[in-house]
Amino acid sequence: MNELIASLPLDDLKVLELGQLIAGPTCGQVLADFGAQVVKIEPPGKGDAMRQWGQTDESGEPLWWNVIARNKQSLTLDLRKPEGQDLLRRLAAKADVLIENFRPGTMERWGLDYQSLSADNPGLIMVRVTGFGQDGPYASRAGFAAVCEAMGGLRYISGYPDRPPVRVGISLGDTLAGVQGAMGALLALHQREKTGRGQVVDSAIFEAVMAMMESLIPDYARAGKIRERAGSFLPKIAPSNAYPARDGRDVIIGANQDTVFRRLCEAMGQPTLADHPDYADHRARGENQQAIDELIAAWTAHHDAQHIVDLLADAGVPAGLVYTAKDMLEDEHIKERGSIVEVPDRHGKPLPMQNVFPRLSQTPGKVRQVGPALGEHTETVLGDWLELDHNSIDALRKDSVI
């Protein structure tokens, strides 16, 4: 591998994050992970609601905050006050990127719309993350991920056909919109190198979900097919499912390609299955999906899960266990790759969390610190960015602007 370069790829960027909860802050997290100076603007006294979400440690401090706010600085600022709005304008004049995920029209009411901010900083890029986007009939609606995942098509196909739609156990729509917002910011930054001008990145949650829905839309538009809920498998893609092992665990096996299916049959001790007319090619297996799944489940039920995974790994058949967080922390491959990293929390105790992704060979991102305390960097940022002295900062604090 090439020798690592000490600098981080985005360490020359200044970013203001006005977002809250998950979608906007995920965008900020991606940029911060790769070195951008991300200053998180939070309401004085209470901060982002994410500071209260999720599990807490033994001291009562929330753990999720340490992930989504990692590598960021916290500056408290009351954007509902004219003085706070004025400070934000001055900060935006120094920034490369501004992220916000308020309901459309909020920034405009505060006089912090893109046209106003870019008048002082033509190169500014504003990432606007919302449920339904900045325009259209639904723009003003509140748009949490659950609703937008449904509109984007994900909920309809999630779950089993005889039950109502289910949700994935994470806020997937929020995260997708945040990551897409970060990608949009980087695209806009690249364009700015050519023109010197910034632009608005409009990242709607429902569209971020819709963008990952494969051929769902043309399947209906051209073939009249609506993709339905199918549970743990994809219709006509076989075998590819979760199969029960003797020890009570499930094993995921994907052997829908002809050559891989043949290897699976050999590993199962049933090589003639690969030549059976019901299973000999992809289309035949798709038509007989239930039958082939039952054959495989009957085999896996006589073996422990880890034995099945090891056997199929040697045979060149994709297979794996269904992991919990405990499994991830104990897995030798995850340890070897450093996919989970321990970071000191604010009390110096090691806190494991997922590492930065994607991986870069020469300038990889890095988790440098956990989520900051509320207002931890207020004086530093106002001093460094705006050259405010202690007296000016004290006056702002006295007036509850910060």
Residue 207 belongs to what H/E stretch?
A: helix 205-210
CA angle 141, 107, 79 (to 5 degrees): 120
Residue 366 to residue 191: CA distance in whole angstroms? 26
CB count in 10 Å sphere of residue 44: 19
Tokens of 116: 């106003």
Residue 14 to residue 285: CA distance in whole angstroms? 54
Q: Point out the catalytic residue in the list 33, 78, 174, 293.
A: 174
Residue 233 to residue 250: CA distance in whole angstroms? 14
Q: What is the DSSP letter of 155?
A: G
Q: What's the gap between Cα 224 and its chain centre?
A: 32
Annotation says 384 is catalytic: no
CB count in 10 Å sphere of residue 227: 17
Residue 298 to residue 288: CA distance in whole angstroms? 16
Residue type, 229: R
| Residues that are catalytic | 174
